[in-house]
């Protein structure tokens, strides 16, 4: 490690040494994340849900469709990693990023810049992403081997769209923790993590309030980071429509914006200006991706519950 790295606030002269600092901090932060009870419970519940998905109300060819059990399951997969790993990760990473423990205080004194510490925290968010990816891959393999043919709207999606739906769940699982880091960096209030989690939940609830095929209803639906691909109640059915490929791009943009927001805290001068410029560019592309997700792709539909959808 170069001597420059050992001086707090002074950026490393060597990119390799700087990367090593980031990796070292990330390793410590991963251990701290794995000590967060909320995250451990979230991972356990996610794995439980993922493992049992192909065996619990799995609407394959042998599944008996009735009005009671319906066929709403299976394509609602993206909300599983989103709500468990996304929200659980948000709360846990918010706690980790605030450094509210003895290890956190030690890390604050570590010879690294704020940007390096933020980058390390963003790297830690790959842990829930890896868990979400493993679960998504497991369920996707089941989808391809023994398709849930009777799942609502199953026949309306191509394989690549189904793949995109899976990726949406993974991105939600990484975006939640990244948002937790960004919020911890900019909003040190003790209630910040819980209120941010609630705001995300309300956004998700709002996304399914407007159950019609209007463009603004679709826009609100697609804008929510946590949203169902299809939705039904005891009496009605709603399919989101729009392009899931572009929705993946939109969610990736949100993740990147959260990471940039986290990294921007503590930077000054040219470094801050550069991050702002990149953020504006990414923000613009994210908005374009949202509009494309809303206005391209197949049309959504809304109506009385219909097992054939």
Partner 1 sequence: MVTRSALAAELRAVGWGPVLGAGAAAATVLALDGTVWPSGPGSVTAWVGGALLAGAAGFSLDQPAAGAVQSVPTSRGWRMAVRACAGLGALAGWVAYAVVWRAQLAVGVPAWWAQVLAGGALVTVGLGLCAALVRRGQDEPASTVAGGLVFAVLALGLVPVPGDVLVLDLSGERGSTTVAWAVIALLGAAGLAWGSRDEGSRWRETDARSAGH
Residues that bind partner 1 (CB under 8 A): 36-38, 41-42, 45, 48-49, 56, 79-80, 83-84, 87-88, 91, 94-95, 98, 100, 189-195, 197-198, 201-202, 205, 209
Q: How far is the CB of 236 from partner 1 (least distance, A)?
A: 15
Q: What is the residue whose two structure tokens read 């090593």?
A: 20
Note the residue count of the chain. 309
Least distance in Å: CB of 295 to partner 1?
26
Instruction: Compute the least distance from the CB of residue 172 to partner 1, in Å.
Output: 14
Q: Which residue from 169, 193, 195 is spatially nearest to 180, judged by alpha carbons?
A: 193
Smallest CA-to-CA distance from 104 within 162, 14, 220, 25 is with 25
Q: Which is nearer to partner 1, 83 or 154 (CB)?
A: 83
Q: Which residues pair with 65 in a beta bridge?
A: none
Strand order of the sheet with strand 230-232? 230-232, 236-239, 301-304
Q: Which is nearer to partner 1, 139 or 282 (CB)?
A: 139
User: What minimum distance in Å lies between the beta carbon of 180 and partner 1?
Assistant: 9
Residue placing its CB nearer to partner 1 in the complex, 24 or 208: 208
To partner 1, the closest distance from the beta carbon of 182 in angstroms equals: 15
> Closest CB to partner 1 among 125 and 248?
125
Nearer to partner 1, 194 or 287 (CB): 194
Closest by CA to 243, choosing from 160, 309, 308, is 160
CB of 243 to partner 1, least distance (A): 27
104: exposed, middle or buried (Cβ count in 10 Å: 0-12, 13-18, 19+): middle
Give the rounded distance of the alpha carbon of 146 from its chain centre: 27
**Residue 275: is it exposed, middle or buried by C-beta count within 10 angstroms (0-12/13-18/19+)?**
middle
Pairwise CA distance, residues 182 & 265, whole Å: 8
Q: How far is the CB of 197 from partner 1 (least distance, A)?
A: 5
Q: Please say whether the beta carbons of 268 and 243 come within 8 A.
A: no
* DSSP for residue 12: P
Q: Which is nearer to partner 1, 207 or 240 (CB)?
A: 207
Measured from the CB atom, the residue of 197 and 239 that comes closer to partner 1 is 197
């Amino acid at each position: 490690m170069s001597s420059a790295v050992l001086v707090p606030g002074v950026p490393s002269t060597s990119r390799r040494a700087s990367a090593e600092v980031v990796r070292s901090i990330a390793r410590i932060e991963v251990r701290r994340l794995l000590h967060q009870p909320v995250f451990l419970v979230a991972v356990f519940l996610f794995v439980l849900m993922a493992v049992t998905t192909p065996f619990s109300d799995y609407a394959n060819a042998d599944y008996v469709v009735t009005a009671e059990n319906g066929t709403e399951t299976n394509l609602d997969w993206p909300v599983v990693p989103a709500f468990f790993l996304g929200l659980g990760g948000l709360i846990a990473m918010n706690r980790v990023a605030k450094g509210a423990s003895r290890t956190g205080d030690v890390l604050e004194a570590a010879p690294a810049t704020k940007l390096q510490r933020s980058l390390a925290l963003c790297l830690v968010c790959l842990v829930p992403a890896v868990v979400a990816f493993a679960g998504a891959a497991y369920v996707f393999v089941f989808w391809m081997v023994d398709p849930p043919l009777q799942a609502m709207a199953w026949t309306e999606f191509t394989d690549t769209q189904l793949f995109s739906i899976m990726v949406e769940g993974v991105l939600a699982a990484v975006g939640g923790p990244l948002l937790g880091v960004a919020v911890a960096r900019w909003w040190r209030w003790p209630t910040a993590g819980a209120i941010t989690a609630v705001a995300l939940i309300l956004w998700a609830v709002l996304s399914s309030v407007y159950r019609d095929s209007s463009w603004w209803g679709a826009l609100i639906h697609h804008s929510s980071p946590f949203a169902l691909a299809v939705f039904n109640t005891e009496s009605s059915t709603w399919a989101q429509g729009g392009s899931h490929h572009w929705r993946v791009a939109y969610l990736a943009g949100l993740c990147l914006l959260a990471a940039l927001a986290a990294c921007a805290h503590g930077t000054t001068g040219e470094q801050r200006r550069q991050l702002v410029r990149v953020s504006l560019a990414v923000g613009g592309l994210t908005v374009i991706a949202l509009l494309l997700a809303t206005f391209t792709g197949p049309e959504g539909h809304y109506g009385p519950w219909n097992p054939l959808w």
